[in-house]
Structures are given as C-alpha cells and as structure tokens.
Structure 1
Amino acid sequence: MNLKKSLATIPIFQQVGTVADQLNMETYLVGGYVRDLLLDRPSKDIDFVCIGDGIKLAKAVSAALPERPPVAVFKNFGTAMIKVGDWEVEFVGARKESYQRHSRKPQVEAGTLQEDQERRDFTINTLGISINEANYGELLDPFDGVKDLKRKIIRTPADPELTFSDDPLRMMRAIRFAAQLKFDIAPDTFEGILKNADRLSIISGERIIDELNKIILTEKPSYGFKLLFVSGLLEHFFPEMVALQGVDSVGDKSHKDNFYHTLQVLDNVSTRTDSLWLRWAAIMHDIAKPATKRFNQKVGWTFHGHEDKGARMTPGIFRRLKLPMDERMKYVQKLVKLHLRPIALVNDKVTDAALRRLLFEAGDDIDDLMQLCRADVTSKNDHKVKRFLANFDKVEKKLQEVEAKDQVRNFQPPVSGDEIMAIFGLKPSRVVGDLKEEIKEAILEGQIQNNKSEALELMYRLAAKKGIEKKTNH
C-alpha cells in the first residue's frame, strides 16, 4: 500500500504535519486509524501522538485551520480534541504508564514513541505513520503489527498477563476486536485472559456493556460470545447466559443446549437486522429456561412459562448490566414475553380473536416479533426448518388479513376514560377502568367493530347492567 497516496486524500494529515514541523515536534498518526487504513476499513477517529505537548500541538493546529475549530482539552489525560468535518481528531504527547493493582487508571509520565507504542493493547494498534515532512508516510512497526494483520491475529505487544492485569478491560477489547475483524487470539494472549478473568471485577459495568454491545453488533456475534464463554469472562457479568449451557439427560430423553441454541438464534437475527435491541431480544428469549426446566416422564424435558419468567427477569438483568431502563428495555421484555405466541396461531382453527389479541399486544413490534420467531427455528433437519418457516408465512398472512379488516395493531379503545366519566358523571375509579376494559375485550373478541358508535352502544348496555345512569344536564 502506498501510504503517502492514501494520506493525501485527507488534508488534515498534511495540515498537522506542517504545524508539527513549525513547532519542531515529532508527530505520528497512530492506533486504530492506521490499523483500519491497512485493512481498508472505514474509520472516523484520527489519533496523533507527538514527542512533547499534545495540547500545545492541538491548539496550534486549530489556530492554523481556516475554520478555527474549538479545542476540547482533557488536562487529566494530557489530551486534546478538535472536530474537523466529520473527523474527531485527538492529540496526545507520547507517554509511558504504570498501574496500581486495584485500579485500571494508570499513572502517566512523558515517554518515548517506543514506550508509547508498547503501552498499547494489541500489536495491530501499535502501528504509527510519521507525518513530519522529513519522513512523511513512513510506517513504524516495532511489534510486527503488520504481520499480525496479515495473519489475522490479536496479540499483545507486552507480556499478556501484565497487559490484562494492568487494564482488565483489554480482555473484553481483545474479544471485541477478534469478533469485529474475524481474527484469532494468539494462544499466549488467550492464556493471559484465562489467568486474569477474575480481574474484570474492577471494571465498571458501563465499560463492560459498551464492549459487549460492540460484540453483539458484529456480523456473527456468536463468535465473540463463544470466546467470552470459554475465556471465563462471561460468567463474571452475565451468569444467567452461562447457566443456559449444558445438556441434561434422563434415560434416552435430553434437551438441546440452550446456550448454543441462543447463539444460533442471535446469528440468525443478525443476518436480518442491525438493530441492537432486536439482537438483545434474541439473547434474552430463552434466558429463563434454566429456572423453568422440569422433567416429565411422559414428555421429557419442559420449560413451561419460560417466556413469562424471562420477561420478568429482563428488567433486573438490564439494570445490573447498566443497559437502558427505558422503552428499549420494554421492547426487549415484550418480545421475550410474546416469542412463543405466533407459532400457536398456525392451526387452521385459530380464531380471529387470537390474531387480534396478538396484534394488539405486539403493536408496531409485530414485524420484529415475527423476525425473532423465524430466527428461533434452529433445527439441523432442513425439512423441519422449511415446514416451520412455511407455518410462519401462514401466520403472517392471517395477521395481515385481520389487521386490514379490524385495524387493531395500535388501536386505542374508541371511548376514552375521560368520556366515560363525563357521560356518567363519574370520578376516576375502578368502574371506569372496567368499562374501558370490557369495550376493549369486546373489540378484540370480535363482538363489536372497532368504531365509536358500536363502542358507545356497548358502553350504555354495560352501564345499565351495572346500574350506572347517564348524567343529566339541568
């Protein structure tokens, strides 16, 4: 690869190089941008390391640019950042680091370029490109990072045990990079993870979940999860998922391994969507199977109610993992709760009422629910898979027909609680809620159409039965 030619397409490199020369400051393009440049991957972050004061360089670069971008200074870290177009450009002075065992926050002091490269997590992230005029475009690769890129290997530049003990988050990053780049982890580096897995306890939940979500968003997230499982990291922050692994047998009756089934469902969903939260629904859909597992002599292993139990477990798991406790959690919870419902609607004798009820409960998420259900078909028997998927085609057709006719996907009862109170002169009370609920149920059961006139007519009949009289105006 002609690095000078590649750098020439983005003006900021030449601009920073010119300012660095004016300050007589050795400066290098480093880290992820260089790695992604060599891998021909897109990258939005640009990092520069200089031998000297990175904040001073950032301010001088900003002053030299026509748009004079503001400089964000992070004094505690000795770094500064400016935004240039769509790029986030960071500057830092070369440094060396030392760590205390109880913390991943390093003690930092000025260092050489070699020391700065050695402190980095993996050899593929130690690469540097000079941007000073004297040796512009020259690649510095003291730890054979280019060779590791070609071999598709994640390896630490320093002793793996020390690297991971110093900053245990690097263990999550090793697996994240392996999953994103489809690389292997070098044996001695993986051994370092195995030996330091319990050090993950000093890392905040927010940092762990940030890395986990990046793994979940990879093309084939099962690869990252298998590495997390085998390395022993997963059990430290997601024991409910680890509990899915394993097969119990009684006589000739056994169940499938729900951990590997879940990973297959996750991969299946990931071929259809980039949605992080639909992927989380795939991860969580069978999470309660260990808690609901029972053995029945006649039918073998059962997991009755795992969808309801899983929905109840979802908020607690989200809270502990530092995932958002908002509509996104409720969306995952809803899909977990409903994921068995569509397959029960395959039978030709299924009533429109059952279809209306599912449409009402799933609302706008019905299409995502059907995607999850299709992904949940993981049999190795191709004929069985085709039969199940054909059944889902039938269910989707029925749902579309009922929705076109009854429009219940997101319906609100045609008569509101406020209207009921106004008509009968009632205060907020259980009787108002009961009337609303009975109107809703009548629509879902197909006893009345989803329109105001039929809803009002039913409301008056129900009120008369309860001895509630219409308010009279004097």
Structure 2
Amino acid sequence: MNFKESLDQLEIFGRVGRIADKMGLETYVVGGYVRDLILKRPSKDIDFVCVGSGIALAQEVADSFVEHVPLSVFKNFGTANIRLEDWEVEFVGARKESYRHDSRKPIVEDGTLQEDQERRDFTINAMAISVNSHNYGDLIDPFGGMADIKRKIIRTPTDPIITFSDDPLRMMRAIRFAAQLRFDIEPDTFLAIVHDAHRLQIVSAERIIDEMNKIIMTDKPSYGFKLLFVSKLLQEIFPEMVELQGVDSVGDKSHKDNFYHTLQVLDNIAAVTDNIWLRWAAIMHDIAKPATKRFNQKVGWTFHGHEDKGAKMVPTIFRRMKLPMDERMKYVQKLVRLHLRPIALVSDKVTDAAIRRLLFDAGNDIDDLMKLCRADITSKNNNKVQRFLSNFDKVEQKILEVEEKDNVRNFQPPVSGKEIMDLFGLKPSKIVGDLKEEIKEAILEGQIQNNKDEALNLLYKLAAQKGLSRKNHENE
C-alpha cells in the first residue's frame, strides 16, 4: 500500500526525504502518526526513524529552513526534535533494545528498521512509511498492523510476555489504546497482562498516572477501567477502587455494586465535561463506602458519613498516585465532601438558608457540583432517573433565585477582620474571629442582608453585648 498522496499533504515529509537521500539514510515516518493516518485521527506528533544518526538528520532538517527552527537534542537518548508551528517532529536512529528483568532501563544499540519495529509495543504502532525517493510512501508492515486496525485488535508484535516483561508500562498502554480506539485486546496479549500485572510495581507512579489519566479522558472511560479491573492492574494501582466491587446481602436486603455504579457515574460525567478533575471527583465520590458500610436491620445497608471520610481519603490517594497536591486536589476533595448536599434540598420545604449555605460552601464550583449530582443518578428504572433529574431542576432554580437575591457565592464578609480591629482597637484574637463568624451566620440564616450597612449595624450590637466600645467613637 502506498501513502504518497497522504504524505504530500505536509511539506515536511518531502523535505526530510530529500535530505535523507542526500545523506544516504534510510528514513521512515513511524508509530503513532502512521496509525492515526490510517485511522483518520488527528495527530500533531511526527516521529522519523533513520538507519543511522537521527540527531545528524534533525540538524540538517532544522538548518534547511530559511527561518530559525528550534532544535532540541537529547544525546543520551540519541533523539532530537524540532517544533514547526504546532507540530512536534522527532528524529531517532533505528535501534534495538534489551532489558534486565528488574529494571526499566534498556540496553540500547544501533539496529535495523526491522529491529526497531520489533521493539515497539503493538502492531498498530510498529508500521513505517518510507520517505526516501525510491520507495516514497511505501508502507512497511511486517507484523500485520494494518490487518489489526481493520480487525480492531491490540496485539504485540512479538511474544507478549517478553514485550510486557521488558516494559510493564506497556500493559497500561494496551488498555489505554483499547479505550481510546474502542479496540479489543487480543486474547494471548490480554492473558500476558494478567500474568504480568504484578510487574507494574517496578514502574514509576508518574508514568502510570499519565496513562491512567489518558484512560479517564476517553469518551467512555468505563471500558478502560473494566479492562484494568479484569486484568488485575487496577489492584496494583488503585486498591481502594477495587474494594468498591461486590454486593453484600442479608436476607432480602442488598446494596448496589458501588464499583459499577462509579463507572456509570464516570461515563455520565464524561458525556458532559472534559474537565479531568471533575471526572476524578466522579471516580472518588463513593470511595469511602467500603469503610463506612454497615447493616441496619430496619433500613438495610448504610454508608453514613462516606462523603466526609471520602474527602479525607482524597489527599492520601492523590499523594500516592503522584497526582497534583494543589488546588486541583482541593477541588476534588470539596466535590466529594459536598456530593450528597444537593440531594437533601429536593424538598419543597427547603429553606433559603440551606441554599445559602450550599452556595457558601461550594462557591464557584456549584455548577460542577450539580453536574456531579446529576451524573450520580444511576438506575435501570428510567422513570426514577427522570424524577430525580426533575428534582435537581427545582434545586437549581432555587439556587438561581437565592443567588440573585443574596449574592453569597464565594462569600466575602462585608466587614473584614482588620476593620473590626480598627473599629474597636483590638489585636488579632479569638473575639475578632467570633464577631466575623456571627455576622456570616446571620447573613447565611437570612437575619440580615449581605451588605455592609446591615453588617455594621449587627456588629455594633454584638460588640456592645460583649462589652466592646468603638475606638474614636466621639469623633464619628
């Protein structure tokens, strides 16, 4: 099969081919770009392999442009890359690799194109297209990658046990590609993942979480998580999530399988947002249910307090998995802690004060919280789902009404602690904090409006009750 017309659509292929011919280098575009070209998927990364020095080829290509082209060289890895507008173009010499059993660091040697293709993870990533003039556009596909694309199969080019033992991260990549492309994993390849799942322990958490986040960002992430679960990889990465799986019964009282419920919530949220941290909140929202599960003879199974315990678990899990310990973690933690609150507001008797408190606690994340709550409605009974969604419509309407009237989202006290200290000649102390808290409570309870005049009037009354007198009062 010839891809000449496809290559001709980008000037870089002809340019690299002409320079490679001049240098006497066999040169090919390989890997993900070839795969995505066949699948008609967008790609902004181009990888070239030459039988010789990839760095020397990259230098000649960069020098061939009239305008300056940024060139980055990584001598230790034998690679170089250039950036062309929003394209990343990498060059490397063909190589063969071998591994020690207990290490991820390969022994790298120069190799042929065939040896370079053999070392690649999957057949769909082991195809190459020549850019040399004598066979420009020819597909070199020794392992049947094209056929596997047509069959929608993920398969290793050589023995999968050896492939995964060499670099156990490839097991995660197999599942990531299956999830992204909605492909199946070939049976022997999948059995090798199950066999070698424990080997993931020698891979850094940073590399693992990078693949996991890519699975989370697929259109239907539940597919990838089911593969992670069945393959036993999830047990190595995220045991807390595995503990959600299963159903306990006492007599005729059972609870739903919280693992598969979580996956449904994740798919629901993925359908409405690309915010990866909101997707993580969906994954974590019930994470503490196993730890809080109790059986009550009257009501059946309960999970009281799982939202608070789950919020406390978030930092520990984020730290272990090398997820960011910053505002993104706090955002997930907040949504986990609050995810049950809107459910309690579906009654017509809910007070404005309850709505104000929710707005105060959620701040600008109230809209994302409501998305999570809607995603959390999972049932095979469509009427039940629609009834709950209708209830949330009412809650959101109440939120809009209260917010418009009281403006308490991201509440800032109308009177600051510094103003209180200046008015009464106080130093930082508990009494200043108490006064601020009482003003806040009065606003949230609707006793006063959220404005400075009413806050100051209340402050003066509260201060008088505490025996405080205003500083320089006689001058006012």
TM norm structure 1 = 0.99
Corresponding residue number in structure 1 for 2:149: 149
Deviation track 1:111-160 (CA, whole Å, cap 9, x = no partner) reads: 11000000000000000000001110000000000000000000000100
Q: Secondary structure at the match of 1:287?
A: coil
Amino acid in the other structure paired with 2:11 = P
- Measured in 2, the distance between the counterparts of 1:390 and 1:411 equals 28
Deviation track 1:454-473 (CA, whole Å, cap 9, x = no partner) reads: 00000111111111111127
Compute the displacement of 1:70 (Å): 2.7
Corresponding residue number in structure 2 for 1:226: 226
- Measured in 1, the distance between the counterparts of 2:345 and 2:105 equals 55
- Measured in 1, the distance between the counterparts of 2:469 and 2:356 equals 32
Q: Secondary structure at the match of 1:307?
A: helix
Gaps of 5+ in 1: none
Amino acid in the other structure paired with 1:419 = E
Amino acid in the other structure paired with 1:31 = G
- Measured in 2, the distance between the counterparts of 1:157 and 1:118 equals 6
- Measured in 1, the distance between the counterparts of 2:87 and 2:171 equals 28
Structure 2 contact 179–215 (Cα < 8 Å) conserved = yes
Structure 2 contact 98–107 (Cα < 8 Å) conserved = yes
Corresponding residue number in structure 1 for 2:249: 249
- Measured in 1, the distance between the counterparts of 2:267 and 2:70 equals 43
Matches within 5 A, 1:147-226: 147-226=147-226
Compute the displacement of 1:75 (Å): 1.1
Matched, 1:130 2:133: no
- Measured in 2, the distance between the counterparts of 1:76 and 1:123 equals 27
Structure 2 contact 2–138 (Cα < 8 Å) conserved = no
Q: Secondary structure at the match of 2:282?
A: helix
Corresponding residue number in structure 2 for 1:120: 120
Q: Secondary structure at the match of 1:156?
A: coil
Matches within 5 A, 1:100-115: 100-115=100-115
- Measured in 1, the distance between the counterparts of 2:162 and 2:448 equals 71
Deviation track 1:423-446 (CA, whole Å, cap 9, x = no partner) reads: 111111111111111101100000
Q: Secondary structure at the match of 2:436?
A: helix
Matches within 5 A, 1:4-403: 4-403=4-403
Aligned residues: 474
Deviation track 1:228-273 (CA, whole Å, cap 9, x = no partner) reads: 0000001112100000000000111010000000000000000000
- Measured in 2, the distance between the counterparts of 1:307 and 1:96 equals 51
Q: Secondary structure at the match of 1:469?
A: coil
- Measured in 2, the distance between the counterparts of 1:332 and 1:468 equals 42
Corresponding residue number in structure 2 for 1:446: 446
Compute the displacement of 1:66 (Å): 1.9
Amino acid in the other structure paired with 1:180 = Q
Compute the displacement of 1:190 (Å): 0.3
- Measured in 2, the distance between the counterparts of 1:452 and 1:68 equals 59
- Measured in 1, the distance between the counterparts of 2:63 and 2:257 equals 60
Deviation track 1:208-241 (CA, whole Å, cap 9, x = no partner) reads: 0000000000000000000000000011121000
- Measured in 1, the distance between the counterparts of 2:146 and 2:68 equals 36
- Measured in 1, the distance between the counterparts of 2:87 and 2:187 equals 36
Deviation track 1:310-367 (CA, whole Å, cap 9, x = no partner) reads: 0111111111110001111111011001100101001111110000000111111111
Superposition CA RMSD, Å: 0.9
Deviation track 1:83-119 (CA, whole Å, cap 9, x = no partner) reads: 1111110000000000011111110000110000000
Report runs of 4+ in structure 1 exceeding 3 Å deviation: none
Compute the displacement of 1:67 (Å): 2.1
- Measured in 1, the distance between the counterparts of 2:342 and 2:397 equals 12
Corresponding residue number in structure 2 for 1:457: 457
- Measured in 1, the distance between the counterparts of 2:392 and 2:216 equals 26
Q: Secondary structure at the match of 1:77?
A: coil
Compute the displacement of 1:2 (Å): 5.9
- Measured in 2, the distance between the counterparts of 1:430 and 1:74 equals 58
- Measured in 2, the distance between the counterparts of 1:434 and 1:363 equals 22
Amino acid in the other structure paired with 2:20 = A
Structure 2 contact 2–139 (Cα < 8 Å) conserved = no
Which range moves more in the overlay, 170-179 or 73-82? 73-82
- Measured in 2, the distance between the counterparts of 1:266 and 1:216 equals 8
- Measured in 2, the distance between the counterparts of 1:368 and 1:403 equals 16
Q: Secondary structure at the match of 2:76?
A: helix
Gaps of 5+ in 2: none
- Measured in 1, the distance between the counterparts of 2:117 and 2:472 equals 84
- Measured in 2, the distance between the counterparts of 1:102 and 1:330 equals 36
Corresponding residue number in structure 1 for 2:413: 413
